[in-house]
A and B are shown apart, each in its own frame.
Chain A
Amino acid sequence: MLVFEKSKEGRGFSSLPACDVPEVLPKEEYRRGLELHLPEISENDLSRHYTELAKKSYGVNDGFYPLGSCTMKYNPKINEDMAGLPQFTEIHPLQPESTIQGCLEVIQKAEEYLCEITGMNRMTMQPAAGAHGEFTGLLLIKAYHESRGDHKRTKIIVPDSAHGTNPASATMAGYSVVSVPSMEDGCVDLEKLRAVVGEDTAGLMLTNPNTVGLFDKNILEITDIIHECGGVNYYDGANLNAVMGIVRPGDMGFDVIHLNLHKTFSTPHGGGGPGSGPVGCKEFLAEFLPSVLVEGTEKLTLKKPEHSIGEVKSFYGNFLVVVRALTYLMTLGKEGIPEASQNAVLNANYMMNKLKDIYPMAYDEVCMHEFVMSMEELKKGTGVSALDIAKGLVDNGIHPPTMYFPLIVHEALMVEPTETESKETMDKAIKVFRKIYNFAITAPDSLHQAPVTTPVTRLDEVEAARNPVLRYQF
């Protein structure tokens, strides 16, 4: 039930103080013609309404959430303590620089540490999330080629295992997308890559470890091929959690990257956002970075890069998310950051090895921070699909892994436990995965019905996609 449906005329509460300035109406032309449909409800009922909604939802704080390629790690509470400090919250973006030196120091430190981890020279905190970062990074690549009068570079190369956002961002930035196939082992096909590069190549977009959870062993050759034809290498930071503090995208030959602070650096993710997608680059691209960068040592100031592409979001991006990420970095330190990655990889390999005798692995080798299983055989044998398995997990109190992605694996389930799960939690999840597999063999129909224990049961996804109802009708 929506809050509008609980509304009773004349009921309500107001926490606004009495108005102590004369009331002034906006000009006629700016006034709203339609009635404003605000729900009228008591504070008690409103509080219960949101508690009820919270009970129906599921997040990292409720239990295991192994959503592959999303890094749903635990967000330490100290991050929230720091982000809630009034010195960070009770400021205005237009305040004089001299009065917000501490905030500028946060941005500067975050930039310094994140550049150190990624092997970049400069970084902007302005983009709001991953795909926004991709778009920003591509605009940097475009600005670079155009600044050299090189207008023939119209193509961005993207492997077929890439996140859907990569080709989408490239298209948004005005590029045409060339897809390169992966080899049997999920890595980029070097011969095919060589065949498509040339004078029209603006750049390459890649994640490493790649989307099937494997580290591409040819990475130096891949980035060389692009550099040799005059292109720029873009690193999608989606999978950085496997390698942070261990290997740097900058050393792999990447020139521009985005990070997802809400994945890798423990800031709230998904509905709990907002996100943050800083974009880092090598020196030769820094003059094109958007917005302003923090400069100076004693007295910090904000300075716009010489040939900046302009603004991609208002002011300094989602600043309080940067505060959280910096808190995480300083809490873990230079020993803790690589240890987090090592544990993320260890956990994924532990789960994979405890499941691979019954669940077919798409790539049966040591994985990085996530692994991909294929339900193709199971579906042929029993009619139980990846979707059915996922819904069965929901009935057992586990958030499903990523489904039907990457596209190059049929009936895919992609599991990313992250480093913040204990052995006990994973053992419990392994038991559930095994139990559901047995259901698939012995009682496949029960999985077609799942979930049956949740506030809403199996939803009609097709109807929802074909006829979405996105507005409440008064």
Chain B
Amino acid sequence: MKLGEGLVYSKSHEWVKFEGDTAWVGLTDYAQSELGDLVYVNLPEAGDEIEVEETFADVESVKAVSDVYSPITGTVCEINEELLDSPEKINEDPYGAWLVKVENVTAKEELLSGEEYEAFVASEQA
């Protein structure tokens, strides 16, 4: 399992990168490997409000459709449109393939450091 640079992680397997009150959210390497090859991504629209622990997107693999939960509360200011045509980018480069860029982040769930996230995944698999 790979980790990214300067990222924090949620227990529902999303990563977040903060810059002031702006944040990028994506799926972890562990999440993409568990989901398998992705074939479709459904993203919110710019301007949508997203909320901690609510679903804001879904991803589809040949196995199933899975919800993506938001680790933060804020306003989507940009979506990664490239993913809509090339969902495989999430499998190829999970920490480069951000799903949404979020502004005015007002709340976040308790997020894990890389080390803590690794330990969490290990404990889930045990």
Using CB atoms and an 8 Å cutoff, list the residues of chain A in contact with chain B: 164, 380, 403-405, 407, 461-462, 465-466
Contact = CB atoms under 8 A, between A and B. Distances in A.
Contacts of B62: 461-462, 465
B63 A465 contact: no
Interface in B43-64: 60, 62-64
Contact of B65 (A164, A403, A461, A466): A164
A462 B37 contact: yes
B65 to A, nearest CB: 7
B4 to A, nearest CB: 24
A462 B39 contact: yes
Given A462-B39, A465-B62, 17 more contacts: A164-B65, A380-B125, A403-B63, A404-B63, A404-B64, A405-B64, A407-B64, A407-B66, A461-B62, A462-B37, A462-B62, A465-B39, A465-B40, A465-B60, A466-B39, A466-B87, A466-B88
Interface of B: 37, 39-40, 60, 62-66, 87-88, 125
A465 B65 CA distance: 13
Per CB-CB distance, the 10 closest pairs between chain A and chain B, nearest first, are: A465-B39, A462-B37, A404-B63, A461-B62, A466-B39, A465-B62, A404-B64, A407-B64, A462-B62, A462-B39
16 contacts: A164-B65, A380-B125, A403-B63, A404-B63, A404-B64, A405-B64, A407-B64, A407-B66, A461-B62, A462-B37, A462-B39, A462-B62, A465-B40, A466-B39, A466-B87, A466-B88
Contacts of B65: 164
Contacts, number: 19
A461 B60 CA distance: 13
Contacts of A466: 39, 87-88
Nearest to B67: A179
Contacts of A407: 64, 66
A284 B33 CA distance: 50
> Which among A164, A404, A405, A462 has the greatest number of chain B C-beta atoms within 10 A?
A462
Contacts of A462: 37, 39, 62
> Which among B39, B40, B125 has the greatest number of chain A C-beta atoms within 10 A?
B39
A119 B15 CA distance: 50
Nearest to A407: B64
Contacts of B87: 466
A407 B35 CA distance: 12
A419 B48 CA distance: 51
B44 to A, nearest CB: 15
Nearest to B88: A466
B77 to A, nearest CB: 25
Contacts of B66: 407
A466 B84 CA distance: 11
Nearest to A410: B34
A373 B60 CA distance: 23
Nearest to A464: B62
Contacts of A465: 39-40, 60, 62
B56 to A, nearest CB: 14
Contacts of A403: 63
A155 B64 CA distance: 24
A82 B80 CA distance: 57
A465 B37 CA distance: 10
